[in-house]
Amino acid sequence: MNAPDPNAVRRGRRQLLLLAALFFVPLAVAFWMYYGPTGWRPSGDASKGDLVDPARPLAALALTTPDGTQTSPDFLRGKWSMVYVGDGLCDDRCRKALYLTRQSRIALNKDMDRVQRVFLVTGRCCDRGFLAQEHPDLVVARVDDDASAALLEPFPTYGGVPLADAGRIFIVDPLGNLLMSYAPTAPDKALLTDMKKLLRLSHIG
């Protein structure tokens, strides 16, 4: 039996290494971009919202819903979350924000099941008729006592405006990390644009 040609063996090894590199290098780059020391860091025109830098982990807490049941402690994990924080009576700005999260999620098409919408109610819970009619898929949870309000501690405030009055939408990743924030003055498509980028880069959630 003839011994294998050393040159052929080397060529075979190089081809195998090249194939492995073509498969693993993009995964490694995406992993580093998302989980590396700087996390996902779009800059300039790459992102439309305000980065929460560094990303802030949120506590795993079971919260009370408007009908008195409890959420799972991990309700902000497993999916991407578009989170609105505000008063339960939901003024016009609140209604516009909830509408924006609904339409943005629908526009994600095949990826919409990777994303949930969450309304964290800081007080006067709730206009249940409006929420049931306009937002039946919305996760509504109360953060109106000291224990539940601990969930809000990592949320940033801007310009000295209390979180409950800021009218901001936040993005939370499937690991429960607070990533981005959108002011009421942000362009309507900003949330959708950034969500699409995050879903494209990430294979979690």
What is the per-residue pLDDT across 79-113, written as a single tens digit (0 to 9) for each?
999 999 999 999 999 999 999 999 999 999 999 99
Contact yes or no for 179/40 (Cβ under 8 A): yes
pLDDT of residue 89: 93
What is the per-residue pLDDT across 24-50, written as a single tens digit (0 to 9) for each?
444 444 444 444 544 444 444 456 899
- How far from 137 is each of 1, 32, 175, 188, CA to CA, in Å? 69, 33, 21, 21
> In the predicted model, what is the mean pLDDT of residues 103-125?
97
Which amino acid is located at 56 in the chain?
R
Local structure of 5: helix, strand or coil = coil
Question: Shortest CA distance to 173 belongs to which of 56, 8, 70?
Answer: 56
Local structure of 53: helix, strand or coil = strand
Q: How many Å from the N-terminal Cα to the C-terminal Cα in the chain?
A: 53
pLDDT of residue 114: 97
Contact yes or no for 174/204 (Cβ under 8 A): yes
Which amino acid is located at 200 in the chain?
R
Residue 23 predicted with pLDDT over 50: no
Question: Shortest CA distance to 152 belongs to which of 137, 140, 161, 162?
Answer: 162
Q: What is the DSSP letter of 124?
A: S
What is the per-residue pLDDT across 180-196, written as a single tens digit (0 to 9) for each?
999 999 999 999 999 99
